[in-house]
């Protein structure tokens, strides 16, 4: 489909961000990659996708299957698609903040849409679905290439150091604000660590390495991939440093709770144990004074 050239006055504002998706019947007022937002509204009912300017670079998805899948999701009930996206985010420990940073949607609106099925405009749902399709493809590519890329961990933070993620090339991005995707413990890994904490509160390095392997194994099985592809977990990869910090935090938390439970309340005296003593400031009823009756004078 060829776009028409519109002649306008030089001083007129032309919104060139309207693009037509190839292979679909959906038009969307947003681009998909290298996006910067301006004019952010603080209204919960609005989001940053409303403020896209015309000077942004536009790059459409070139994969026919991606556009076809997005088009099918738009035709389905939005509540069904929302539940599918929410389930996928829970399986892969994806926080809503990552979706907000990638799409520019308002987090409150996104949360209500995913949890309660709150209606969302077509252009915003299309943006959300494109992120979802790109994220799925990037995760699949990361797991497929994990055996080739391998994993290298930093000596200090235990972060993955390697090639840039495929998601960087597939997903729309907003202007960087110094925010990165934080590591999140998955429910399966937490159960493994909690069981180990009951047995040993301060494990050795060898024991921590075994826990790392077990945590990555259960996280891979949760995602339907083999443990040998643990490097594909990306920022959710469990490392020995993270296990060490988890046990250290749990020991501090347990010591704090124990200290609170042993502390005695101060300046508290039960009324039953110590009777109340009235002082000069307490109100006391005055005793009743019975005056003698006066006799009437007798008439002489």
Cβ–Cβ contacts within 10 Å for residue 71, how many? 16
Give the pLDDT of residue 258: 84
Give the pLDDT of residue 37: 35
Residue 171 near residue 30 (C-beta atoms within 8 A): no
The region of weakest confidence among 64-73, 168-177, 210-219, 281-290 is 168-177
Give the three-class secondary structure for 246: helix
> Is the pLDDT assigned to residue 77 strictly greater than 70?
yes
Average pLDDT over residues 212-219: 87
Average pLDDT over residues 37-61: 38
Select 64-151's CATH number: 3.40.190.10, 1.10.260.40, 3.40.50.300, 3.30.365.10: 1.10.260.40
Give the pLDDT of residue 15: 43
73: exposed, middle or buried (C-beta count within 10 Å: 0-12, 13-18, 19+)? buried
Give the pLDDT of residue 159: 43
106: nearest Cα among 48, 38, 33, 181: 48
* pLDDT: which is higher, 274 or 162: 274
Instruction: Please give the helix or strand (H or E) that residue 122 lies within, else none.
Output: helix 122-149
Compute the CA torsion angle 258, 261, 267, 272 (nearest 10 deg): -160
Give the pLDDT of residue 232: 73
Average pLDDT over residues 29-49: 39
125: nearest Cα among 113, 108, 136: 113
Domain ranges of the chain: 64-151, 187-262
Give the pLDDT of residue 34: 37
* pLDDT: which is higher, 264 or 136: 136
State the pLDDT confidence band at 249, using cuts at 50, 70 and 90.
Answer: very high
Give residue-wise pLDDT tens across range 85-128.
888 888 777 888 888 888 888 888 888 888 888 888 888 888 89
> Is the pLDDT assigned to residue 222 strictly greater than 60?
yes
The most distant pair of C-alpha atoms in the chain lies apart, rounded to whole Å, by 135
Give the pLDDT of residue 252: 92
Q: DSSP string of 63-99?
A: -HHHHHHHHHHHHS-HHHHHHHHHHHHHHTT--HHHH
Residue 40 near residue 48 (C-beta atoms within 8 A): yes
Residue 121 neighbours by CB under 8 Å, 6+ apart: none
> Is the pLDDT assigned to residue 38 strictly greater than 70?
no
> Is the pLDDT assigned to residue 7 strictly greater than 50?
no
Residue with tokens 């925010």: 179
* 41 vs 135: CA distance, rounded Å: 26
> What is the chain's alpha carbon radius of gyration, rounded to the nearest angstrom?
33
Phi first, then psi: what are they for 37, rounded to 5°? Answer: -110, 145
Phi first, then psi: what are they for 20, rounded to 5°? Answer: -110, 125
Give residue-wise pLDDT tens across range 163-188.
344 444 444 444 444 455 677 788 88
Residue 56 neighbours by CB under 8 Å, 6+ apart: 17, 31, 34, 35, 36
Residue 152 neighbours by CB under 8 Å, 6+ apart: 160, 161, 162
Give residue-wise pLDDT tens across range 255-294.
888 888 877 565 544 544 555 555 555 555 556 666 667 7
* pLDDT: which is higher, 136 or 251: 251
Give the pLDDT of residue 154: 40
Domains 64-151 and 187-262 share a fold: no
Q: Which CATH architecture has domain 187-262?
A: Orthogonal Bundle (1.10)
């Amino acid at each position: 489909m060829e776009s028409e050239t519109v002649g306008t006055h030089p001083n007129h504002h032309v919104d060139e961000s309207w693009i037509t998706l190839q292979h679909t019947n959906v038009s969307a007022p947003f681009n998909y990659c290298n996006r910067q937002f301006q004019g952010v509204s603080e209204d919960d009912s609005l989001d940053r996708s409303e403020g896209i300017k015309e000077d942004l670079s536009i790059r459409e998805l070139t994969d026919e299957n991606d556009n076809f899948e997005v088009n099918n999701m738009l035709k389905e009930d939005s509540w069904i698609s929302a539940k599918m996206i929410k389930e996928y985010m829970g399986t892969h420990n994806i926080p809503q903040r990552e979706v907000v940073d990638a799409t520019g949607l308002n987090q409150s609106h996104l949360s209500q849409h995913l949890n309660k099925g709150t209606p969302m405009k077509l252009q915003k749902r299309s943006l959300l679905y494109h992120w979802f399709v790109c994220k799925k493809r990037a995760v699949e590519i990361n797991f497929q290439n994990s055996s080739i890329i391998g994993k290298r961990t930093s000596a200090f933070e235990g972060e993955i150091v390697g090639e840039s993620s495929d998601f960087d090339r597939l997903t729309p991005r907003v202007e960087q604000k110094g925010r990165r995707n934080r590591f999140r413990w998955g429910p399966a890994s937490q159960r493994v660590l909690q069981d180990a904490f009951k047995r040993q509160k301060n494990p050795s390095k060898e024991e921590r390495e075994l826990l790392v392997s077990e945590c990555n194994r259960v996280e891979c099985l949760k995602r339907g991939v083999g443990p040998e592809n643990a490097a594909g977990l990306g920022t959710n990869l469990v490392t020995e440093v993270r296990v060490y910090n988890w046990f250290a935090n749990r020991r501090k938390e347990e010591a704090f709770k124990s200290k609170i439970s042993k502390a005695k309340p101060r300046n508290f005296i039960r009324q039953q144990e110590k009777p109340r003593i009235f002082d000069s400031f307490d109100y006391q009823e005055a005793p009743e004074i019975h005056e003698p009756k006066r006799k009437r004078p007798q008439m002489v």
